[in-house]
Structure 1
Amino acid sequence: MRSIVWCVAVLGMALSAGAADRPNIILIMSDDMGWSDLGCYGGEIQTPQLDALAAGGVRFTQFYNTARCCPTRACLLTGVYPHQAGIGHMMDERNLPGYRGDLNKHTPTIAEALKPAGYGTYQVGKWHVTRHVQDNGPKHNWPQQRGFDRNYSMITGAGSFFDPWTLVRDNTTISPVADPDYTPETYYFTDAISDHAVRYIADHTREQGDKPFFMYVAYTAAHWPMHALPEDIAKYKGKYDAGYAPFREARLKKSISLGLIGDGEKLSPQAEDWSKVDNQAWEAAGMEVYAAMIDRMDQGIGKIVDELKRTKQFDNTLVMFLQDNGACAELMGRTGNMKHPDIPRPDKPTLPAMKPTDFHSGIVPDQTRDGYPVRMGKNAWPGGPDTYVAYGRGWANVSNTPFREYKHWVHEGGISSPLIMHWPARVDAEHRGKVYKEAGHLIDLMATCVDVAKARFPALNHGEKTVPLEGVSLAPALNLTSLKRSKPLYWEHEGNRAVRLGTWKVVAKGKEGPWELYDIEHDRVESRNLAGKHPERVKELAGYWDVWAERALVKPWPWDAADPGAPVRPNQNRNRRRAN
């Protein structure tokens, strides 16, 4: 017994001694934003806080996500491909190991890996890695059961910014307007995320200041619905009245000047024609609100930075910012439906007011708390809590400047993300503000955290043997050193698939689509398909993909070519298992 106590004491001293040279780690992710939306990536939206982090750190020009929200979150949290973590698609059970819609036990989270190394662990914002979202259901994959000491989370994937659904503090579902621990004058989820991040930093510093911390901050901005605060929307009033093309052209020019895109690159084809938009004022308003949502998130990141500075932890904190997928071209709410019609806002509430302790029944609320019906369509002017609309394909095309495609697809517009890495104690002065041109991927984030935290990736998790990490540490990029990656990078989502090896990329649309080949170094926009010119290279890379797809639980496929989102019957699963 005496020897056990001595061992524990020595371990405690080692963790405490090592805390000074191990950084705090804050991983910040936005939702449904495009590659060029930030000012430091070519955009016109006001993001001074993120621009400052980029100026003091390193920006990746070629960092990749998985093209969709929950697969990205599973990949980010675990350091393996999303299918290996059980979330190859969304939160639906398809009775296949790679498509369970629930994070599996074989893949520990970053919090589960860092906690034994003496880190405090915190999560705020969107969770979206379990299909069990109700308070009276299983909670084995809620944040506290997956390694986080404290959390303030939306368990599901989307909802009103003024009244989010499945909001929980720790393990308890709460109403945003009946929460005694957080009582702002106006509830807005982006602010709530930022404020809780600041609170957790302050509390950790006061209570456990001798320990480093890991914090995962998952904003829902700028995912639909287009909801923002009036003072932020006012900053962009009239900004986008000229339509899509001028902003695509300006963003390309700026991204080239910043060294993020090659000088010879051209724009991908424009998705929509502004002159054919039948309600230009409504269309422009969607982008105004979208910009306001990003602006407010940036303000919140400023609060987090200020708290790090106040507590004298800024210099030894590694902050990483990224996005979960490319811009979203989904048409949510752009026309009315039976429950949320395309009607003008009534002069007064038409429904009974909700009690503060009442909960909505789904992602799209039927009404506001004060009794206004939630509306969709072109009479639903974006911004307020009684509307639920997306900003549409034309503006998503702007957000993804200069790339092709969007969220869902694995062409560059679907999978390209900014990555800003900022760590003053580690980034040499001559490297600050520089761009890093090697490819990085979400699979690398766990490896990076384990590396800089001087932790050990666990061999067992919840009693199960763990899946080995797929990524490499990104720490060398902080001083522009090569990552020395030896393996290709892979993607699959809804049958869309890709492989990146060196500067070459093969990519295909849908399960039946042909492989295309691009030289990303000279054609990042994927405008010149070289498959016919280099068939052997296509065959080589496609062969790598097939081997990986078997190993990483992508196959057997659950996708029907006509409808990749349709449920799969058991006999279909068996047939596909035999075929693969």
Structure 2
Amino acid sequence: MIRDEEAEKRSHEQEARRPNILLILNDDMGYSDIGCYGGEVDTPFLNQLAEQGLRFTQFYNTARCSPSRASLLTGLHPHQTGIGVLVDDDGPEGYQGNLNKQCVTIAEVLRQAKYRTYMSGKWHIANNISEVTDTWPLQRGFDRYYGTLAGSGNFYYPSTLTRDNENIEHEALNKDYYYTDAISDEAVRFIKEHVEEYPDTPFFQYVAYTAPHWPLHAKEDDIAKYKDRFNAGWDQLRIERMQRMQEMGILNAGWSLTDRDNSQPAWEDAAHKEWEQRRMEVYAAQIDSMDQGIGRILQTLEETGQLEQTLILFLSDNGGCAEEFEPVQPNKIPKNWGRTSTGADVAFGNRPDVMPGAETTFQSYGTAWANLSNTPFRLYKHWVHEGGIATPFIVHWPEAIQSKGEIRHMACQLTDVMATILDITNAAYPATYNGHAICPPEGKSMKKFFVSDDHAEDRFLFWEHEGNAAVREGNWKLVKNYPGKWELFDMAQDRTEIYNLADQYPERVQQMIVQYDRWATRCGVKPREKILEIIAKRNRRK
């Protein structure tokens, strides 16, 4: 009997020592925007996490909002979860646009391991965003939820704003409401309430910002901080960023800076410079506001005695976004993008006669600034060249990380987050869940890299989005810009993907194609032509 009591006591002590998990994801931010990765944006709290934790230089997302979120939360590749493209129903298995029942989320796994689970922010992995379904946050493992189910919208009056399962858009009809701040404030509230109500229970907190996803909406005080910050223009700033990144040890000094996107003018030839600068100023202010909110979350963790025992992970869901918006008339604007809290019309589109920032505008920062955001890499969100999939990845865990401020260069990807959390929490990944067989996890734990900079064993990493495809083995990366040909790069010598070696190593190309095809078949990746055919048929029926 005494032995049983001692065993039970040890079990409780081990459970009490399990760390909290704080997973922070932001939206459409480039690899080098934040200060600790070389950017011009003021991010003192993210910088602090990096200085007291670790920065990974070769961590990868999956190039787009919904697929990245699905992969991050499940430890699977997006096609295995039902999110092959976005949340539209594109037909075949793996492309339904709903998180399917063959996967489990981190929240579902940790809740079974007696964690409390909370989320604030963007969901964007459910097809139906107006009626409660089994793909909403509370139905996928979260005890509490505050945020938006849709992928984007007005920061001052967001559509699909939801608390738990209830639409609360009316709560945003407040002159001081700003969605980024609300995401942070709700995260703070969840932590405070958790510590008060469940002091002996660890928590999982998922904070999913929409910043700095378009539209360019930011508070004037935050925008004002960046006045003239970007007046040197995208060409000079890309050079300066790369120099800082090399000095930090993030980039190899031997790599070359990619050329400016050939669709864009040199800064000295750019028209409407004041408007162009304003676009980047607002974008920077969106990130700044997020960082301020992260600071409030960190302060709350410290004040409640939780910071030391909390594993914090920060990353972005894809690279900088080069999407542009043509001006359209108010009656042609999509419903959720044309709404304002006052009912005023929206000046929709990238119009140089309208300065972005207010809720009556709807603009993006465009290709040239996205090219700066992704310094020094090629391409953007949607593509699986480095500019589309490389993300900053910060790890902060005072109890376990002794080598503070160090940089890790091993290649990892989203599927590894679930594996890492399972490793750290000793939570069991289920073979079945609610009567459904669950796909085995795809990732590998990164826990050992938190204490050592030893490189990982060579393994294959894979990507596919909208036909854009890639496979990486060790330092070799094979990548395709659909419908173009495969390109081969040596990532140790040329991570900026300038020198295509496919013609020099045809056997390696074929070997890696074989590996990619096997993965694509196993994970349910369908040929892009088939998906386009299904989408075309669907559009004809509308």
Tell whether the structures are fold-level matches, with TM greater than 0.5.
Answer: yes
Is 1:336 paired with 2:327?
yes
Residue from 526, 531, 534 that aligns with 1:555: 526
| Aligned residue among 228, 231, 235 for 2:221 | 231
Give the structure 1 partner of residue 459 of structure 2.
487
What's 1:353 paired with? none
2:393 corresponds to which letter in structure 1? L
Structure 1 contact 265–524 (Cα < 8 Å) conserved = yes
Is 1:427 matched with 2:413?
Answer: no
State the match for 2:30 in structure 1.
34
One-letter amino acid of the structure 2 residue matched with residue 567 of structure 1:
I
Q: Would the alpha carbon gap of residues 297 and 176 (structure 1) be closer, same or farther in structure 2, given more than 3 Å must change?
A: farther
Partner residue of 2:21? Answer: 25
Identity of aligned residues (%): 46
- The aligned residue for residue 107 of structure 1 is 103
Which residue of structure 2 aligns with residue 167 of structure 1? 161
Secondary structure, aligned partner of 1:25: strand
User: Could you say if the C-alpha distance between residues 524 and 174 of structure 1 is closer, same or farther in structure 2, counting changes exceeding 3 Å?
Assistant: same
> Structure 2 matches for 1:363-402, cutoff 5 A?
363-366=336-339, 368-376=340-348, 377-402=351-376
Task: Assess if the C-alpha contact under 8 Å between 1:448 and 1:474 holds in 2.
Answer: yes
Distance 1:415 1:11, change over 3 A: farther
Tell me the TM-score normalised to structure 1 length: 0.88
* Alignment-mate amino acid for residue 417 of structure 1: T
CA-atom RMSD, angstroms?
A: 2.1
C-alpha contact (below 8 Å) 1:167/1:174 kept by paired residues: yes
Contact kept? 2:323, 2:367, Cα under 8 Å: yes
Q: Which amino acid counterpart does residue 195 of structure 2 have in structure 1?
A: T
SS at match of 2:142: coil
Q: Distance in 1 between matches of 2:75 and 2:398?
A: 25
2:311 equivalent in structure 1: 318
Report whether the alignment pairs 1:245 with 2:217.
Answer: no
Q: What is the deviation of 1:569?
A: 3.5
- The AA in structure 2 aligned to 1:51 is N
Pairwise CA distance, 1:283: 1.0
Within the candidate set 500, 523, 534, 2:472 is matched to: 500
State whether residues 459 and 474 of structure 2, in contact with CA within 8 Å, keep that contact through their aligned partners in structure 1: no
Q: Distance in 2 between matches of 1:47 and 1:415?
A: 21
Gaps of 5+ in 1: 1-6, 342-359, 573-580
In structure 1, the partner of 2:441 is 469
Query: Are the counterparts in 2 of residues 154 and 168 from structure 1 also a CA contact under 8 Å?
Result: yes
1:482 Cα shift?
A: 4.0
- Alignment equivalent of 1:295, drawn from 288, 296, 299: 288
Any idea what the Cα deviations from partners look like across 1:123-170, whole Å, max 9, x if unmatched?
110000011100xx2421100000000010200100111011111000
3-state SS, counterpart of residue 307 of structure 2: coil
C-alpha distance in 2, partners of 1:129/1:499? 25
Q: How many Å apart are 1:556 and its aligned residue?
A: 4.7
After TM superposition, give the deviation of residue 277 of structure 1 in Å.
Answer: 2.3
CA deviation after TM superposition for structure 1 residue 11, in Å = 11
The residue identity in structure 2 corresponding to 1:555 is K
* Offset of residue 92 of structure 1: 1.1
Q: Which moved more, 1:460-469 or 1:414-423?
A: 460-469
Mapped to 1, the partners of 2:459 and 2:536 lie a distance apart of: 32
Q: Counterpart of 2:424?
A: 452
Name the CA shift for 1:201/1:15 in 2 (closer, same or farther; >3 Å). farther
Q: Aligned pair 1:200/2:196, yes or no?
A: no
Give the superposition deviation at 1:14.
6.9
Amino acid at match of 2:79: H
State the distance in 1 between where 2:334 and 2:272 align: 32
Whole-angstrom CA distance in 1 between matches of 2:8 and 2:169:
39
What corresponds to 2:204 in structure 1?
A: 214
User: Counterpart in 1 of 2:301?
Assistant: 308
The whole-number CA distance in structure 2 between the counterparts of 1:339 and 1:226 is 18
Task: Quickly say closer, same or farther: Cα 1:365–1:177, change in 2 above 3 A.
Answer: farther
Distance 2:343 2:537 in 1: 41
Residues in 2 aligned to 1:483 and 1:318: alpha-carbon distance in whole angstroms: 22
Cα shift readout 1:12-44 (whole Å, capped 9, x = no counterpart): 967643233211000001100000001000111
The answer to whether the 8 A contact 2:90-2:534 is kept is no
| 1:399-410 pair list within 5 angstroms | 399-410=373-384
Rounded to whole Å, the distance in 2 between the matches of 1:222 and 1:521 is: 30
CA distance in 2, matches of 1:485, 1:71: 26
Q: Answer yes or no: is 1:275 the counterpart of 2:271.
A: no
Structure 2 contact 409–455 (Cα < 8 Å) conserved: no
The answer to whether the 8 Å contact 1:473/1:483 transfers is no
| Residues 495 and 559, structure 1, Cα contact 8 Å, conserved in 2 | no
Q: Which range moved further: 371-380 or 492-501?
A: 371-380
Q: Deviations over 1:282-312 (max 9, x none)?
A: 1110000000010110000000000000001
TM-score, L = length of structure 2: 0.94
Find out whether 1:150 has 2:141 as its counterpart.
no
Q: Which amino acid aligns with 1:405?
A: L
Q: C-alpha distance in 2, partners of 1:242/1:559?
A: 45
Structure 1 pair 14/263, CA: closer, same or farther in 2 (3 Å)?
Answer: same
Any conservation in 1 of the 2:346–2:359 contact (CA below 8 Å)?
A: yes
User: Would the alpha carbon gap of residues 409 and 40 (structure 1) be closer, same or farther in structure 2, given more than 3 Å must change?
Assistant: same
Which residue of structure 1 lines up, in the alignment, with residue 392 of structure 2?
418
C-alpha separation in 1, matches of 2:102 and 2:163:
26
Q: Is the 8 A contact 1:195 1:300 kept in 2?
A: yes
Distance of 2:287 and 2:20 partners within structure 1? 25
> Whole-Å Cα distance in 2 between the matches of residues 509 and 62 of structure 1?
20
Deviations 1:449-502 (A, max 9, x none): 111111100111221010000001111111124474553000000000000110
Larger proportion of helix: 2
Q: Give me the whole-angstrom Cα distance separating, in 1, the residues matched to 2:51 and 2:281.
A: 26
Q: Is the 8 A contact 1:16 1:211 kept in 2?
A: no
On the 8 A contact 1:125/1:220 being kept in 2, the answer is yes
1:374–1:527 CA distance, 2 compared to 1 (3 A): same
Q: Deviations over 1:91-139 (max 9, x none)?
A: 11122111110000110000001111110000110000011100xx242
How far apart, CA to CA, are the structure 2 residues paired with 1:290 and 1:98?
Answer: 33
> Can you list the C-alpha shifts for 1:531-568, whole angstroms capped at 9, x where unaligned?
011111111111100111000000254556xxx59714
Partners of 1:293 and 1:378 in 2: CA distance = 20
Task: Report what 1:81 is aligned to.
Answer: 77
Q: Distance in 1 between matches of 2:487 and 2:396?
A: 36
Contact 2:462–2:472 (CA<8 Å) still a contact in 1?
yes
Amino acid at match of 2:123: W
Q: Number of matched residues?
A: 531
The structural deviation recorded for 1:361 is 7.8
Distance 1:104 1:370, change over 3 A: same
